[in-house]
Structure 1
Amino acid sequence: MITLSPQFPPLIKGLAAGPANPLTIAMTEAEKGTDAGLLVWSINDQRLRAALVLAPEEPLSRATAGYIACSVGLQNALGVQAPPETAVHLEWAGGVRLNGAHAGALHLYASTANSDEIPAWMIVSVELSISLPDSVVVEPGQTPDWTALDQEGCGDVNAVELLEAWARHTLVWINELDEPNGRATLYREWKGLVWKLGEQTSAHLPGERVAGTFLGVDENFGMLMKLDDGKSRLIPLTALVERA
């Protein structure tokens, strides 16, 4: 069990969850009106879990750009910590891929699902596999759709330092969104990291799976997909908002 306390930048307040679910604690604190920047975390030998509380000042349809900022922040943190040959990609719907295989995911929660309403709070949670369970005995590359850091040559990555790096990079991108061209800057960074852009793929939404060709996104990072039946569909990023 990892017990070292991470050091976070100003505006980020860490709270160790121990074996508890960080998301549950973050939601409880958000409902109480905690300040933005609360980062609840839990790390053991097999996985890293964390939940960051945000306090948007825009309607949900635009505030969800903060979710993209957190995603890019995680990719940047992994890009620094992992060996340079490790490919780290982000699925539009939140999945995190290492060398093409699933290694974790980000999830989005908010106090409202109304895209026109300013949320009282928004939470982005992260779960990342550090190692596969002891019950799974495989050689690297034998589980192409399910992997972990140690299966992809990242066994030396320090999970506490990775969490610290995620907080730092995420804060940079969230602050970037306050700049006049911040959303465009974030988009340019994200575009080079997103999985299967311009290709056939599928998006796993809460209660639905959508398949087709990923054509691009709109100004609020909504996914434009050409469905397998030839029709086009715009899926707003707010479709990813999950219930507790």
Structure 2
Amino acid sequence: MTHSPQFPPLLTGEVVARHTDPFDKAVSRAIAGVDSGTIFYSEATDTLCAALVLAPETPLEDAIQAVYVAQVGLAESLGALAPPEVPVHFVWPDRIKVNGAVCGQVRFAADVSDPKAEPNWLVIGIEVPFTHAGSDPGENPNRTCLHEEGCVDITPMSLLESWSKHTLLWLTYFMDSGFQRVHDEWRPRCDSLGETIEEPKPGVFVGLDEKGRMLLRQGVMTEVVSLTEFAEHR
């Protein structure tokens, strides 16, 4: 029997019906005016699917930095629950790696696309597989799941609880002191920093600027790529 997750103060949870995507539900409820701080989640036992609704009071370019907050929250949650030898890293802009293989992603959506516009809502979702659905373990060496990495004692609901607490803590840091502290925590976990990458665009991933935008060096030129370009718009 799945226990109902406990959420920290300022955050509330709402379970979605079976076969309903928590991210889509969060977006539809955000459009309708649900309270900021509501987390929609699935009770599936083979994956963690959850989405947090925020109501930023800043332009999208600043608000979108909360995506890094959610990533740091997830990394710290896995760090607290998983065996100590299991490393967690990020692939910009949206993938999570565990032990060097992709193990989940973040999604984000807003009601505006102009980086200078102030969104009424921002939804940040996470998806983390616990088991491989319909495929044999090791079939794709570039992808993994938590159980394959030795995290058999973690459940989706325990990870959800931990993610909500760590994410709220880092949201507080972010709102109190800006992006720098989040950046300092995120940067060492980015496994493609300083590397030549092909996605989302070819170049050398130099780092992030003060707005959380990717700095991508292409020859003698450095291009700035914003997370806002990867937000889903509803």
Same fold (TM over 0.5): yes
2: CA distance between counterparts of 1:7 and 1:219? 34
Matches within 5 A, 1:3-152: 3-19=2-18, 20-133=20-133, 135-139=134-138, 143-152=140-149
Deviations 1:57-98 (A, max 9, x none): 100111111111111101111111111000100122110000
CA contact (8 A) 2:111 2:233 kept: no
Task: Kindly provide the amino acid, as one letter, of the partner of residue 7 in structure 2.
Answer: F
What displacement does 1:183 show? 1.8
Partner of 2:209: 218
Partner of 1:206: none
Question: Structure 2-normalised TM-score?
Answer: 0.94
Partner of 2:232: 242
What displacement does 1:117 show? 0.8
The equivalent position to 2:167 in structure 1, one of 170, 178, 203, is: 170
CA contact (8 A) 2:109 2:122 kept: yes
Task: Kindly provide the amino acid, as one letter, of the partner of residue 14 in structure 1.
Answer: G
What displacement does 1:24 show? 1.6
CA contact (8 A) 1:102 1:146 kept: yes
SS of equivalent residue, structure 1 residue 10? coil
Partner of 1:153: 150
2:169 equivalent to 1:189: no
2: CA distance between counterparts of 1:38 and 1:70? 14
CA contact (8 A) 1:40 1:52 kept: yes
Question: Structure 1-normalised TM-score?
Answer: 0.91
CA contact (8 A) 1:72 1:190 kept: yes
Instruction: Show structure 2 runs of 5+ residues with no match.
Output: none
Give the length in aligned residue pairs.
233
1: CA distance between counterparts of 2:15 and 2:101? 29
What displacement does 1:213 show? 1.3
CA contact (8 A) 1:220 1:237 kept: no
Task: Kindly provide the amino acid, as one letter, of the partner of residue 55 in structure 2.
Answer: A
Deviations 1:173-208 (A, max 9, x none): 1111122x34211111111111211112243xxxxx
CA contact (8 A) 2:46 2:156 kept: no
What displacement does 1:17 show? 0.9
What displacement does 1:138 show? 2.9
Q: RMSD between aligned alpha carbons?
A: 1.5
Deviations 1:108-158 (A, max 9, x none): 10010111111000000111110002x32235xx53211100111112212
Task: Kindly provide the amino acid, as one letter, of the partner of residue 195 in structure 2.
Answer: E
CA contact (8 A) 1:46 1:131 kept: yes
2: CA distance between counterparts of 1:104 and 1:138? 15
What displacement does 1:230 show? 5.8
Provide the identity percentage: 34
2: CA distance between counterparts of 1:115 and 1:87? 33
2: CA distance between counterparts of 1:85 and 1:26? 34
Task: Kindly provide the amino acid, as one letter, of the partner of residue 153 in structure 1.
Answer: G
